[in-house]
Amino acid sequence: MGFFSPLEVAGNACNAGHNKMSLSLDRIIILGILAGAYIGFGANLATVVGSDVGQLGAGVGQFIFGAVFSVGLMLVVIGGAELFTGNNMFLTICALEGRVSWLKVFYHWGVVWAANFAGAYLLVYLVFHGFYFTLPDGGMASGLLGGAVMKKAIGIATLKCNLPWFAAFCRAILCNWLVCLAVWLALAAKDVIGKIFACFFPIMAFVASGFEHSVANMFFVPMGIFLTGGADPVVNWGNFLINNLVPVTLGNIIGGGIFVAGFYWWSYLRVK
């Protein structure tokens, strides 16, 4: 068979989770920073491309936005990095098998979440100062496609910060259900091309559908905050952290931990 069976994937996911728990703290932090930056690369590419497809219609524009965003997870899965949302699945299935304590799972999630934020923020800083810098005449340079990219970035951040708390929470569950399915399918693939396609379709689906990913938002919203100077009544740190990042983080945990890890563990690994 050209791919691993669901039963084999469940076992491999559990083993991968156990291996992640054995990483030293410095490795977790470095790989977490890389994952945050990798997702940021996908988010930045989606912003640039998405700024110029509005005339194609909302549906096609969202499809293209999601299609190019998927490069972020490809970098994480194939390049190797520690992504909080993926670890919601890996570590949960490992804990359900009794191979690691829940206390260690929560600690690992916290470290990776913070490292992902650091990596995404680093990319925001580099992109902002590389493209949106102040010109000698006091104006602001605005990237490859002029003001369209800047407008798109601010628009994305505004939409996310305007979401009601429970709506963000529900969208986050749906998001990480698909993200962890992408990782699950990538585990089933036996070659790089298979892993690329496994990442592409679920990630394209979640982004095109408008679901909420905590690590992606660590790039999208801070970029909007940078571009508005932090003075916007909606796009600001307080609103982002409390009304978006908290519910999205919690929803991502449920989406990956229950709807993927929990259900597949129950179906394939639980001792009857």
- Over residues 139-181, the pLDDT tens digits come to 566 555 567 888 999 999 999 999 999 999 999 999 999 999 9
Buried b (16+ CB within 10 A) or exposed e, 203-215: bbbbbbeebbbbb
State the Cα–Cα distance between residues 72 and 148, nearest whole angstrom.
22
Phi/psi-derived region of residue 191, left when phi > 0, alpha when psi is between -120 and 50, beta in every other case? beta
User: Cβ atoms within 10 A of the Cβ of 193, count?
Assistant: 9
Q: Where are the chain's structural domains?
A: 6-269
Give me the residues paired with residue 140 across strands: 134
Q: What is the CA radius of gyration of the chain?
A: 19
Token digits of residue 261: 């890890």
Has domain 6-269 been given CATH number 3.40.640.10? no
DSSP letter assigned to residue 133: P
User: What's the predicted TM-score (pTM) here?
Assistant: 0.94
State the Cα–Cα distance between residues 49 and 44, nearest whole angstrom.
9
What pLDDT tens digit does each residue of the chain (272 aa) get?
689 999 999 999 999 999 999 999 999 999 999 999 999 999 999 999 988 877 777 788 899 999 999 999 999 999 999 999 999 999 999 999 999 999 999 999 999 999 999 999 999 999 998 887 655 555 566 555 567 888 999 999 999 999 999 999 999 999 999 999 999 999 999 999 999 999 999 999 999 999 999 999 999 999 999 999 877 899 999 999 999 999 999 999 999 999 999 999 999 998 75
State the Cα–Cα distance between residues 15 and 257, nearest whole angstrom.
16
